[in-house]
Chain A
Amino acid sequence: GQNIDQPTEMTATEGAIVQINCTYQTSGFNGLFWYQQHAGEAPTFLSYNVLDGLEEKGRFSSFLSRSKGYSYLLLKELQMKDSASYLCAVQGDYKLSFGAGTTVTVRA
């Protein structure tokens, strides 16, 4: 089965940095995705890691350690529009399994 854990909520100030951790225990691993979901909207793709290390994409970076079953999403220079839920998802052999999501609130 799949077990994916991430914090429920985080709050940060505009311009700051926030790190969202995700730990997973899964049967089969073909990569880890991060998605962003604004309230009432569909999830949208942010990043993908399949090898250990850091992937950087503008203000967003994602890290993976396969041996530790651990990933994080780093959001830099936070903006108000970054207030959303961030979903960690693990690609197994035939399915994509999601954590419950972390709601990030950015305060002015």
Chain B
Amino acid sequence: EAQVTQNPRYLITVTGKKLTVTCSQNMNHEYMSWYRQDPGLGLRQIYYSMNVEVTDKGDVPEGYKVSRKEKRNFPLILESPSPNQTSLYFCASSLSTGTGSEAFFGQGTRLTVV
């Protein structure tokens, strides 16, 4: 089954404790991205990757890091989480950034930083 898998689904952590949210897709998609979703603000892009070893900042990259060492995986790293990073996070992948290439989303990770 074609899917994007994120882990964990839920995470409560303390300020400053490094964490990684994993994302994996099995569709051989080139393009992957991370979003955060906050009430009233919609989905905002954190980072994106157009292919292996090619990543770039989205609209809200501060406090986050990513890597793309393999095509299927695109982990999101919070080196020193802070309470303002409490949010619902989604990973997404698409075949490319070309026309008609719909995005497939993971199940979401609800992160709480206390």
Using a CB–CB distance below 8 Å, which chain A residues touch chain B? 8, 30-31, 33, 35, 40-45, 48, 50, 87, 89, 91, 93-101
Q: Is the CB of B97 within 8 A of A94?
A: yes
Asked whether A45 lies within 8 Å of B45 as measured between CB atoms, the reply is: no
Q: What mask results when residues 26 to 64 of chain B are scored 1 for a CB within 8 Å of chain A, else 0?
A: 000000010100001111110010100000101100000
- Chain B interface bracket (under 10, 10 to 19, 20 to 34, 35 or more): 20 to 34
Q: What per-residue 1/0 map shows which CB atoms of B72-114 lie under 8 Å from chain A?
A: 0000000000000000001010100111111111111000000
- How far is A87 from B42 in the complex, measured between Cα atoms in Å? 8
- B35, B97, B103: which contacts A30 (Cβ < 8 A)? B97
Instruction: Give Cα distance in the complex from A73 to B80, angstroms.
Output: 41
- Contact present for A33 and B102 (CB under 8 Å): yes
Whether B103 pairs with A96 at a CB distance below 8 angstroms is yes
Q: Are A87 and B33 in contact (CB under 8 A)?
A: no
Min C-beta distance of B21 to chain A, whole Å: 14
Q: How far is the CB of B8 from chain A (nearest CB, A)?
A: 15
Complex interface: chain B residues within 8 A of A48 (CB): 100, 102
B97 and chain A: residue at smallest CB distance: A94
Q: Write out the residue numbers on chain B whose beta carbons fall within 8 Å of the beta carbon of A94.
A: 48, 50, 56, 97
- CB of A44 within 8 A of CB of B42, answer no
